[in-house]
Each structure stands twice: as structure tokens, then as C-alpha cells.
Structure 1
Amino acid sequence: MEKGYRNLGYALLLLIPLAYFGMDKSCFIHFPQFGEQMNGYLRFHTVVVLAWIGLLIAQPMLIRYHKVDWHRRVGKWSYFLFPVLILSTWFQVIRISGSDEPMNLFFPLADSVLLILFYGLAIYYRRQQPLHMRYMIGTAIVFLGPTLAYIGPHRLGWSANFTQYAQYAITIFLLTGLLRLDQMHGKKYNPYLIIGLSYAIHLLVYSLLFMWT
């Protein structure tokens, strides 16, 4: 693993407290039984998201500690888990489509597109470890969206629009830092440019839908 990314697995451990604060507390209080407090969608989605976060953390750890065979085995499980993750998101699409705010379909649809794009590129470049790793980092960044979407209004009292733009600011900050890290070490940073361009389109569409309508 590249020297600058040797601690990536430990950095991704931050997804655990973010997931805790970014979900309704009932998701964790009742895990794994849940009980009647959670509907079927939330049960399914919570389990799948936690499994995916576990995979994101485990994979760079396995590379760091030279468990390449296990890294490949776990990676093959992602071929099953990723479609299930997207399916769990589409349950939310169905729910929102029948609500009074159909414009909110933007969020699960846009995040699904980003996940599919970054994961697809990661698999396409699976034999080129530096590119593969950077696109998988892109899939991890996508989870900041729904996480901050809950933390902002429910934990910090932010408005929905302020929360969304805070998400964009944090994403730009992270991508800029990662890009500069690669520049300093003479690495190819094209994946971060593609991820950044994808989020620029995300920002543009959001602004058109929610700010100028």
C-alpha cells in the first residue's frame, strides 16, 4: 500500500461514529433485534449500510497487514453486497415518490448514481491498486451526504439548505486535501478530479432544483 495511505483503514473508522450520529438512535438501540420501533425498510437499510462500512474499513486494513488473499475474498463479497446496498436505497426512492415532497427523490437517486459510478470505476481498475483505492475512497465520501443530512438538522439545528452546502464544503475540503497529498508524492490524482467533477454536477443540479425553483 502507498505510504501516504497506510493508515486509511484507521481513518475510515471515523465512519462508525458518523454513522451513529447520522442515524436515528433507534437504529442502534434496538440493533440487531430492532423491534416494532423500526419498519422493515430501516431494518434492512441499517444492516446493509453497516455491513458496507465494515467492508470499507476492513479492505485497506487487510492490505496494510499483507492479507492480500483475504482482501480479494472480501472484495468478491462486495459484488453481492453492493447491489443489495443500491436496492436498499431504492426502497427509499419508492417511499419518497409517494410522499408530499417528491423533489427529495434527488438525494437517494443522486447518491445512487455516485455510488454506482465510483464503485464501477473501482472494479474496472481493480488490478490497478492505486486507482482502485481512490475510487473506493469516493464511495466512502458519498456516505457523508445522508449522514450530514441527519446530523445537521437533528443534532445541530441547521437548515436543510445550509446542511447540504456544508456537505459540499466538507467534500471539497477532503478532495482538495487528498489531491494535494497525491501531488506532493507524485501520484496520479485523476480519480479525485473525476470525483470532484461528479460532485460539482451534484451541486449544480441541487441548486437548480431547490434554490431556483
Structure 2
Amino acid sequence: MIQSSKTKNISTKAIYLTMGFLFVLLQIGFHPTYLQYFPQFTGFNWIHHVHGALMVSWLVMLVIQPYLIHHGKYKAHRLIGKISYVTAPLIFISMILATKQNYLTTVNKIPFKDVAHIQSLNFITPIIFLFFYTLAIVHRRDIFKHQRYMIGTSFVLLTAIVSRILQHSFEANTIEPYDYFIPLYLGLSISTLLLAYDFLKKENPVPYTIVTITLLFNIVIFHARYTEQWQSFVRYIGDKLF
């Protein structure tokens, strides 16, 4: 039992330190396009602000929750978990609204194939986030599975953060489309390594298998961004929902 507790503490500490590092990267990634405009934020509307605030709050939660577990603050952990019942749906809605706004500001202004290209991540990301969060809540009493599915939600943030950092670090004509390929494959690589680690430790491989397959599906969609099927799908969603 002592060894099990020690392992748990090491695991939770590693998680909240990693999420803390991701939070630092968030500041770096979004400073040139958003944070530097504080406090006026000229050119941004309420959707940007709400979406940004919610995503930051989610990352803060991903830092705090394993920290609370690491220090045995289970009551506070459960309270924040219940708050996520409101936060997560709001994040999903804000993602949809941000996607809709992005679609409407580009359609009929640039070639539609480029509109569909842009939406190849925007359309799928909210679904992936909600999928991982739903699995985490369904398995909230199974700490092993719950923890891994919550980590799954962080890959959504990882892609956005790393892509922003790459876009600010390189000229557009030299980094596209690798500003998305790199974070997508980075997330897949991390998930695969976590899956391999569970295999080596003879742990249940199902959670990270699901996470890895989902991230792989996201990459497949991005590779298919210029296909007629994806173009038709984006046009259908845009016409019917946006």
C-alpha cells in the first residue's frame, strides 16, 4: 500500500507539473495575438473573450486538480469537479461559436477549399474535447480511467498552443502546414508513449488506446482537408447550422 501511494503521488505530481508547464506555454503562444492587447483588446469581441477565459480556466483546473489529489485535498477536488459540469459544456459551446464566427468571416472571402482547410480542425476539436470529458465523467469513480480521459482533454489545448508558437516563430510561407502537423503529431506521439507506458506497467491500456485512436482520427481529417468529401461536409454544416 505504501508503494502504491508513492506511485500515485509521483504520478499526480508529474501531471500537475506538466499542466503547469503547458499553462506557461499558453501565455507564450497567445501573447502576440491576444494577450498583448490587454486591457483594450481592440478588434476582439465577446466570443473571443469568453472562449479564451473558459479555455484558460480549464487549463488552470487541469493544474489544480492533480495538485489537490497529490496533497490529499479530496473534498476540494470533488467541488471543482462538480464546477466542471458547467464549465465543460460552456467550453464546448464557446468552441462552436468561435468556429461559426471563423467560418462566417472567411466564407465567400477566400476560396472555399481554403475555408474547408481552416475548418478541418475547428469542426473536430469541440467534439474531441466533449468526447474525452464525457468519458472522464462516466468513469469519475474509476480514478485510473478518469485521470487519463481528463489528460485527453489537454491535447486540444496542446495543439492550439504549439501551433500558435510555431506561427509566431516562423514566416507563414515556411511553416504552413507544419504549424498544425507538428502539434498534431506531437500530441499523437505523447499519447502513444503514455499508452506504451501503461502496457509496460501492465495497466489497463483501454483509456490511452481510445485517446490515441481519437487523436489519430483528428490527423486523418486534417490530411483529408482538401478532399471533395470534406469540402462537401463543411459546406453542408455551414449552410445548415451557420
Q: TM-score, normalised by structure 2?
A: 0.80
After superposition, what is the alpha-carbon deviation per residue over 1:109-138, rounded to whole angstroms, capped at 9, x for unaligned?
A: 211111011001000000000000000000
CA distance in 1, matches of 2:66, 2:40: 30
- Structure 1 residue corresponding to 2:115, chosen from 102, 108, 112: 102
Change (3 A) 1:192 1:4: farther
Deviation string, structure 1 residues 159-202 (Cα, Å, up to 9, x no partner): 23212221232112211221222223222121111111111211
Q: Deviations along 1:72-125, whole A, 9 cap, x unmatched?
A: 000000011111111221222111222134312222221111101100100000
Where does 1:127-206 land on structure 2 (aligned, <5 Å)? 127-157=141-171, 158-206=174-222
Contact 1:27/1:46 (<8 A) preserved: no
State how many pairs are aligned: 212
Q: Distance in 1 between matches of 2:226 and 2:22?
A: 28
Q: In 1, Cα distance between the equivalents of 2:165 and 2:159?
A: 10
Root-mean-square deviation (Å)? 2.1
Q: Distance in 2 between matches of 1:4 and 1:169?
A: 27
Query: In terms of mean alpha carbon deviation, does 129-138 or 43-52 score higher?
Result: 43-52
| Counterpart position of 2:45 | 39
Equivalent residue runs for 1:27-66 within 5 Å: 27-31=34-38, 33-66=39-72
Paired residues of 2:48 and 2:98 also in contact (CA < 8 A) = no
Mapped partners of 1:35, 1:161: distance in 2: 28
Distance 1:106 1:69 in 2: 40
Greater Rg, structure 1 or structure 2?
2
* Residues 1:20 and 2:21 aligned together: no
How far apart, CA to CA, are the structure 1 residues paired with 2:55 and 2:21?
Answer: 14
Q: Residues 152 and 211 of structure 2 are in contact (CA less than 8 Å); yes or no, is this contact kept in structure 1?
A: yes
Instruction: Give ranges in structure 2 of 5+ residues lacking alignment.
Output: 232-242
Looking at structure 1, the residues matched to 191 and 213 of structure 2 have their Cα atoms a distance apart, in angstroms, of 11
Report the AA paired with residue 69 of structure 1. Answer: K
Which one is further off, 74-83 or 33-42?
33-42
Q: How much has 1:37 moved relative to structure 2?
A: 4.9
Q: What's the secondary structure of 2:42's corresponding residue?
A: helix
| 2:224 alignment partner, SS class | helix
Q: Does 1:118 align with 2:96?
A: no
Q: Which protein, 1 or 2, shows the higher relative CO under an 8 Å CA cutoff with sep ≥ 6? A: 2
What is the percent sequence identity of the aligned residues?
Answer: 22
Deviation at 1:48, TM superposition (A): 1.1
CA distance in 1, matches of 2:139, 2:204: 13
Aligned match of 1:86: 92
Is the CA contact 1:26–1:37 (under 8 Å) kept in the aligned structure 2? no
- Stretches of structure 1 lacking an aligned partner (at least 5 in a row): none
Contact 2:51 2:98 in 1 (8 A): no
Letter in 1 for 2:144: P
Q: Is residue 68–residue 76 contact of structure 2 (8 Å, CA) maintained in 1?
A: yes
Q: 1:211 offset after TM fit, Å?
A: 7.5
Contact 2:92 2:126 in 1 (8 A): yes
